[in-house]
Structure 1
Amino acid sequence: MSNAVNQASIDGYLDSLISQRQLSPLTVDGYRRDLLELTALATASSQDASLADTTHFQIRKFAAQLHAKGLNARSIARKLSAWRGFFNWLSEQNAITANPVDGIKPPKRNKPLPKALAADDAVRLVSETSPGKNADSATQLCNHAMFELLYSSGLRVSELVGLDVRYAREDRYVSAGWIDFDAHEVTVTGKGGKTRSVPIGQAAIDALNAWLAVRSSLVRLDPHPLFLGERGTRVSARVVQLRLKAHGQALGLPTGVHPHVLRHSFASHVLQSSGDLRAVQEMLGHASISATQIYTSLDFQRLAQVYDAAHPRAKKKSPTSS
């Protein structure tokens, strides 16, 4: 009897989604599947279970069961949302007095690790010219300088495009960032208007000098921008993204490359070599050390791969081995 009551309640709710909220058939089918799964979980708990009698404790138990089966946090969140809507409807029908899903949160989603290139791939990306391109063209020299600087100093693309040839404070114009070639240092204005200075490697300095030797031929009205587009105006973040992506594809790199990949690669590689998390935090301009700690996960992944490949006791024995 309870199964028939449960099905009647689900059908009534789904009909309301179609007639009142005018949801598409595909969306309603998704709700149907989530509610049938709720019914299956409730029935497995008790053969005579009525959904109207479902408790807060049972919903928590059902969510835990789904998590134990390996269902990801996003899917569990969707199911809880579907169940919550169903019980809200039952409450409007005076079938229940309280929603058992209220106050129940899905498991936290795993924060994806940032993508970082292998050191060899990063060096190849910033040092080589795209096949078929003239290495001495102004655009290629500009690209080379931008890419080297992104990887050398871990800049955000917004910080890169905001750089000027030199520090200026004139006629209401104040530089957002500039390079001190003598000190091998770049100063940028990052998030929250905070200014920081980061070292620049010699390879990036050389690339910058090569670019500056031809830059004057492209300058139009604004003399300040360090990096210029083909029209002689300050290069945009979008143009840098497109140029870097095309460059990575031309070199045949296995992953899609964007400016933040070089920032992540910079942080990961410096941390791998130095182990100095605080220094990496300062160079990246992170307000909190917790934002930088994610790179320790990248470093551990690399160490785990080395261990699995090299340690004689790391690999599991095959069933046939003695």
Structure 2
Amino acid sequence: MSDQALPSGLQKPLERFYEYLRSEKGLSLHTQRNYRQQLETMGMHLHEMGVGAWTQVDAGWVRQLAGKGMREGMKASSIATRLSSLRSFFDFLILRGELTANPAKGVSAPRKQRPLPKNLDVDEVNQLLEVDEDDPLAVRDRAMMEMMYGAGLRLAEMVSIDVKHLNLSSGELRVIGKGNKERKVPFSGYATEWAKKWLKVRGELANPGEVALFVSKLGTRISHRSVQKRMAEWGQKQSLASHVSPHKLRHSFATHMLESSNNLRAVQELLGHENISTTQIYTHLDFQHLAQAYDQAHPRAHKNGPSKKKEDE
């Protein structure tokens, strides 16, 4: 962007800032060019929105600049870089006595979305769980994987299960989740079958008086690291293309449950999420999908009544 691209009220303070970066801060040419690019882009946006001087910019304008970047598809990290350059520029104006407060200080960039692990599809889960060995450790491992996938447990939740928390007759499991909050989760089918098989051989490994449901070959409660290591090994042994982890099994449970039931609230409760927004992100749902489900299902979502549903489909 050329020097003439901006009106003087926006351009001249920038030129003074660039000189400050060159002469006093000693920043690299690459960093200086990056500051110039970011600031002049924002200056042009402000000019287009009718702002003629940097002293007119308040937190609201800064939020609009960040929002414009989001609408243009900028990554969260790029918006953070843009806001950082703006904060540095406003700090310079405060140093020069042209501003009394930095309007960009209270504006945060959008959070980077944590990358979610790719879930296993149903066939891959079946392939992983084809463990028919009679070795007590193999029985234990299948029981752990069946329970984690069957009940959507966190690794910490599964490791902390005691024998007394398991009710085979009712198909109910008591777990302690995040924040030391207790919840009950159902389990059945293969999870129940292999829990029974494990309990029959557990005494061969567990030390006398050990209360943990799942124990290591040392006879004490199995560690997080051991579970992670064993599941990764089973993934390789069963010839799965992707790495297997406890979190991936939990994620697969959530995804498959949601695909089958379309019941976000139920999946939220099963996973032990306090906020449904966590479940929404965790299961790859976006707001548009939720809105569509609402429009189709809620009896008062349409003024024209239930017949509108068929028109929308």
Report the TM-score, using the length of structure 2 for normalisation: 0.72
Q: Deviations over 1:178-221 (max 9, x none)?
A: 21122222221222333222222221222223323332222235
Structure 2 counterpart of 1:193 = 180
Structure 2 counterpart of 1:9 = 17
Structure 1 counterpart of 2:225 = 238
1:71 deviates by 1.4
Once residues 77 and 52 of structure 2 are traced to their aligned partners in structure 1, the CA distance between those partners, rounded to angstroms, is 27
1:12 deviates by 2.0
SS, match of residue 216 in structure 1? helix
Q: Deviations over 1:79-134 (max 9, x none)?
A: 20222022212311324445353444435655655643212222222x124xxxx9
SS, match of residue 253 in structure 1? coil
1:63 deviates by 3.9
Q: Deviations over 1:228-282 (max 9, x none)?
A: 1232211012221222223224434343332122122212222222233333233
Once residues 256 and 70 of structure 2 are traced to their aligned partners in structure 1, the CA distance between those partners, rounded to angstroms, is 35
Aligned AA for 1:223?
E
Cα distance change of structure 1 residues 270 and 64 upon mapping to structure 2, 3 Å threshold = closer
Structure 2 counterpart of 1:99 = 102
Cα distance change of structure 1 residues 104 and 282 upon mapping to structure 2, 3 Å threshold = closer
Q: Deviations over 1:8-35 (max 9, x none)?
A: 52242366556xxxxxx77x84465134
Is 2:246 aligned against 1:259?
yes
Cα distance change of structure 1 residues 230 and 82 upon mapping to structure 2, 3 Å threshold = farther
Once residues 169 and 249 of structure 2 are traced to their aligned partners in structure 1, the CA distance between those partners, rounded to angstroms, is 25
Structure 1 counterpart of 2:159 = 161
1:222 deviates by 4.5
Aligned AA for 1:228?
V
Q: How does 1:306-321 map to 2 (within 5 A)?
A: none
Q: Decide whether the 8 Å contact of 2:173 with 2:184 is kept in 1.
A: yes
Structure 2 counterpart of 1:209 = 196
Range with greater deviation from structure 2 (68-77 or 91-100): 91-100
1:58 deviates by 6.5
Aligned AA for 2:90?
F
Once residues 177 and 116 of structure 2 are traced to their aligned partners in structure 1, the CA distance between those partners, rounded to angstroms, is 22
Q: Decide whether the 8 Å contact of 1:185 with 1:197 is kept in 2.
A: yes
1:292 deviates by 3.0
Structure 2 counterpart of 1:89 = 92
Report the TM-score, using the length of structure 1 for normalisation: 0.70
Range with greater deviation from structure 2 (103-112 or 221-230): 103-112
1:118 to 100, 116, 121: 121
SS, match of residue 148 in structure 1? helix
Q: Deviations over 1:46-87 (max 9, x none)?
A: 7xx998667347655654554344211221122202220222
SS, match of residue 117 in structure 1? coil
Q: Decide whether the 8 Å contact of 2:166 with 2:174 is kept in 1.
A: yes
Cα distance change of structure 1 residues 17 and 146 upon mapping to structure 2, 3 Å threshold = farther
Q: Decide whether the 8 Å contact of 2:45 with 2:65 is kept in 1.
A: no
Once residues 103 and 209 of structure 1 are traced to their aligned partners in structure 2, the CA distance between those partners, rounded to angstroms, is 56
Identity %: 35
Range with greater deviation from structure 2 (195-204 or 231-240): 195-204
SS, match of residue 231 in structure 1? coil
Once residues 61 and 292 of structure 1 are traced to their aligned partners in structure 2, the CA distance between those partners, rounded to angstroms, is 29
Q: How many residues align?
A: 278
Aligned AA for 1:280?
V
Aligned AA for 2:233?
A
Structure 1 counterpart of 2:37 = 36
Q: How does 1:274-313 map to 2 (within 5 A)?
A: 274-294=261-281, 295=283, 297=285
Structure 1 counterpart of 2:77 = 74
Aligned AA for 2:84?
S
Aligned AA for 2:43?
A
Q: Decide whether the 8 Å contact of 2:18 with 2:32 is kept in 1.
A: no
SS, match of residue 116 in structure 1? coil
Structure 1 counterpart of 2:302 = none
Cα distance change of structure 1 residues 44 and 266 upon mapping to structure 2, 3 Å threshold = closer
Structure 1 counterpart of 2:168 = 181
SS, match of residue 183 in structure 1? coil
* Structure 2 unaligned spans of 5+: 291-313
Q: Decide whether the 8 Å contact of 1:10 with 1:35 is kept in 2.
A: yes
Cα distance change of structure 1 residues 253 and 54 upon mapping to structure 2, 3 Å threshold = farther
Is 2:139 aligned against 1:141?
yes
Cα distance change of structure 1 residues 61 and 244 upon mapping to structure 2, 3 Å threshold = same
Name the Cα RMSD after superposition.
3.7
